[in-house]
Amino acid sequence: PLFARIPHGHWKTLTFLAGLRHDRIVAPFVLDGPINGIAFTAWVEQCLAPTLNPGDIVILDNLGSHKGKPARNAIRDAGAHLFFLPPYSPDLNPIEMMFAKLKTLLRKSDERSVDATWRRLGEVLK
């Protein structure tokens, strides 16, 4: 088992959103809490869509929050093509491998606040 110190004995959920290009991470964002459709749409509209170019391809998994019409429209309005992975296919999603490596690095840093985690994430992504 993995043991770690938890402030006040409570788990803290941080959600990391990002796009993965062949050569870099784009639109990184840390959400203090779990993802939902409103938060995902805000990230797409404010962070991801401005990084998209006409003809780009955006591939999403089948998480319910990814399927909202406003988020889909923001991607398409940027001129990008949108595709969804087949159900139950995390092995086809390269960003999952990047997230696994990122989680390992963040766990090793043992940060215990949202701000410290955000700063460490910025250092790791450089």
Give per-residue pLDDT as tens, 17-32: 999 999 999 999 988 8
Contacts for 8-14: CB closer than 8 Å, 24+ residues apart: 12/114, 14/114, 14/117
Residues ≥6 apart with Cβ < 8 Å to 21: none
Reported pTM:
0.81
Taking residues 96-108, report their average pLDDT: 87
What does the pLDDT look like over 68-81, one tens digit per residue? Answer: 999 999 999 999 99
Alpha carbon distance 46, 44 (integer Å)? 6
In the chain, what are the domains? 7-117 (3.30.420.10)
The tokens describing 62, both together, are 């089948």
Alpha carbon distance 44, 49 (integer Å)? 6
